[in-house]
Amino acid sequence: MNTTRQGAAVDARGIGVEGPRGWAFQGIDISAEPGTLIAVEGSSGSGRTCLLLALTGRMRITEGTAAVAGLPLPQRMGTVRSRTAIAHVPGVVDLEPALTVGEHLKEQALLGHRFQGLGASLPWSKRHKEATRARVDAALAAVRLDPATLPKGLRTAVRDLERIEALRLSVALGIMHGPQLLAVDDVDLKLSETERAQAWQLLRDLAREGTTVVAAGSDAPADALTVRTTRTKPAAAAPVKDEPSVPVKDEPSVPVKDESADPVETEPSATEQDEPQAPAKDAPHTTEEEAAHAFAETGRA
């Protein structure tokens, strides 16, 4: 399976994530070429969000084998995180209601400068301003978010955006630094029928441009590769040796020039080794919301 610079191939065989309260999801198989739109469908609590986090290197898979952009998981989680991005995941990457559209875009653009050779230029320099403006304009154009249609243009606060506009902004932030794979959660949540069609068309267009897109939602288009998650049985109340998977804090995408010359990540790092954990509790299953809360508590403490 070939991998292009624009998109990441995804190859997963029987992958699953187990936590202290049971399996978030199990037995997922995916075989997708770069530039594929992968739609993840399933009921609430079936592990859709956890699957998105696992495929982007932000949650450790505990069974099966997987490779994203040719990088094995969980052995190369760090590199996979640098080549992927997530958007619209509640509790993991949230828009700040009090900030404006322009502030979100500028902040995200500035984050990329540190990792793409522009960190040395002064924030008020001409080169810095031009690079930031170009990056923001390209992201807005890709998601078809026209500032002129917003109540106060780029000065519009996030709290004043329509749901479809907030989704477009989230995706724009996710693709700003050119990830090979973009994961989007709750694509069509609380959207009208027309808005749902617009949301899926947006992701379809991104995939056609070469970026692999993994999106969780309902009413996926017929031309998408559909993956279904199902509720799993409760875990037995017995001690579990492996530590539960915890989402890893998101970072801006960083191009990696030479995979083979990266000896540090050819083996799992010390922080990614399994550790003993307490006995599992009696609870039905690990939900998507719990995964998001775990991320928020550990990543933002």
Q: What confidence score (pLDDT) does residue 257 get?
A: 46
pLDDT-above-90 percentage for the chain = 57
- Are 8 and 213 in contact, with CB atoms under 8 Å apart? no
Across 125-129, 194-198, 273-277, least confident range: 273-277
Q: What confidence score (pLDDT) does residue 234 get?
A: 58
- Are 112 and 177 in contact, with CB atoms under 8 Å apart? yes
On the question of pLDDT at 272 being above 80, the answer is no
Q: How confident is the model at residue 91 (pLDDT cuts 50, 70, 90)?
A: confident
pLDDT (tens digit per residue) in 38-86? 999 988 788 999 999 999 999 999 999 999 999 999 999 999 999 999 9
On the question of pLDDT at 117 being above 60, the answer is no
pTM: 0.74
H helices present in 144-300, as ranges: 163-175, 193-208, 288-299
pLDDT (tens digit per residue) in 219-255? 888 999 999 998 666 555 545 444 455 555 555 444 4
pLDDT (tens digit per residue) in 75-84? 999 999 999 9
pLDDT, average across residues 270-275: 44
Q: What confidence score (pLDDT) does residue 49 get?
A: 94
On the question of pLDDT at 211 being above 50, the answer is yes
On the question of pLDDT at 297 being above 70, the answer is no
On the question of pLDDT at 1 being above 50, the answer is no
How far apart (Å, rounded) are the C-alpha atoms in residues 215 and 197? 14
On the question of pLDDT at 280 being above 90, the answer is no
| Cβ partners under 8 Å of residue 274, min gap 6 | 241, 242, 243
Q: E-strand spans in the chain?
A: 10-19, 22-32, 37-41, 63-68, 71-73, 84-87, 181-184, 212-216, 225-228
How far apart (Å, rounded) are the C-alpha atoms in residues 66 and 199? 28
User: What are the structure tokens assigned to 31, written together?
Assistant: 């075989």
CA distances from 4 to 68, 74, 82, 179 (A): 12, 21, 16, 12
* Residues forming a β-bridge with 17: 25
On the question of pLDDT at 116 being above 90, the answer is no
